């Protein structure tokens, strides 16, 4: 808050580890707020295991995570020094429920590094992901999936100045990669996107 900085490697917000020794009814709830001009959370790659930079919000059944970036705050997932192949932002995955809202002029969520992917609802029935870009905030990644592999995903880009930008080409192209793209509902998933009130979504190579 108020201009503070948090630096981590790969992180999970609201992650239910589904221990085999548990009762099966356990829940995990996590909340993160990045608020105020100059406030930022920077995530780098996992230097111990040499794995990609990633943030998971709402992971596994019983896991509920919520992240809000507001009033000029910034969330940066920076995998530029990592091994790739894909640095990630997962919002709702493997049965979890995740929400990420970025709101207000100067507020931003950026996934940078190698062939970056924004997943809003991924992997399995019961998974719910929600991503909101509002009131002049911005966001960026190379690829986007909204509702994939049986999950439900919802994305809203609302208000003048609000923009999601997907610009670039995969550094290791293959028949299934290449330039920036988005899927709204993929592989049995259910995806919904609303761009409204002057919001913009830019996809470009």
pLDDT tens digits for range 46-79: 999 999 999 999 999 999 999 999 999 999 999 9
pLDDT value of residue 175: 67
pLDDT tens digits for range 30-39: 999 999 999 9
Distance of CA 3 to the CA centre of its chain: 22
pLDDT value of residue 128: 98
Residue 45 has pLDDT above 80, yes or no: yes
pLDDT value of residue 149: 96
Residue 26 has pLDDT above 80, yes or no: yes
Helix (H) and strand (E) counts in the chain: 0, 19
Residue 178 has pLDDT above 80, yes or no: yes
Residue 20 has pLDDT above 90, yes or no: no
pLDDT value of residue 22: 79
The model's confidence at residue 25, banded by pLDDT at 50, 70 and 90, is confident
Give the mean pLDDT of the chain.
95
Residue 173 has pLDDT above 70, yes or no: no
The DSSP string of 110-173 is EEESSS-EEEEEESSTT-EEEEEEETT-EEE-SEEEEEETT-EEEEEEESTT-EEEEE-B-SS-
pLDDT tens digits for range 129-150: 999 999 999 999 999 999 999 9
The model's confidence at residue 164, banded by pLDDT at 50, 70 and 90, is very high
pLDDT value of residue 24: 79
> With contact defined as beta carbons under 8 Å apart, do 82 and 52 qualify?
yes
- Residue whose structure tokens are 């809202």: 101
Mean pLDDT computed over 162-167 = 98
Residue 172 has pLDDT above 80, yes or no: no
pLDDT value of residue 193: 98
Which CA distances in Å does 202 have to 27, 162, 182?
Answer: 37, 11, 11
Question: E-assigned strands of 17-73?
Answer: 28-35, 40-43, 54-59, 63-70
Mean pLDDT computed over 185-190 = 96
């Amino acid at each position: 808050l108020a201009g503070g900085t948090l630096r981590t490697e790969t992180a999970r917000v609201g992650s239910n580890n589904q221990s085999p020794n548990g009762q099966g009814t356990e829940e995990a709830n996590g909340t993160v707020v990045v608020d105020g001009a100059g406030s930022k959370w920077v995530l780098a790659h996992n230097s111990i295991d040499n794995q990609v930079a990633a943030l998971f919000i709402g992971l596994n059944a019983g896991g509920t995570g919520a992240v809000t970036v507001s009033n000029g705050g910034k969330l940066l997932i920076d995998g530029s020094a990592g091994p790739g192949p894909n640095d990630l932002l997962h919002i709702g995955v493997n049965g979890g429920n995740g929400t990420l809202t970025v709101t207000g002029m100067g507020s931003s969520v950026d996934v940078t590094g190698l062939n970056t992917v924004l997943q809003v609802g991924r992997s399995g029935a019961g998974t719910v992901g929600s991503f909101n870009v509002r009131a002049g905030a911005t966001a960026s990644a190379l690829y986007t999936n909204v509702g994939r592999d049986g999950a439900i995903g919802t994305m809203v880009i609302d208000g003048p100045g609000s923009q999601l930008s997907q610009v670039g080409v995969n550094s290791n192209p293959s028949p299934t990669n290449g330039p920036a793209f988005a899927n709204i509902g993929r592989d049995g998933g259910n995806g919904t996107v609303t761009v409204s009130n002057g919001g913009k979504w830019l996809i470009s190579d």
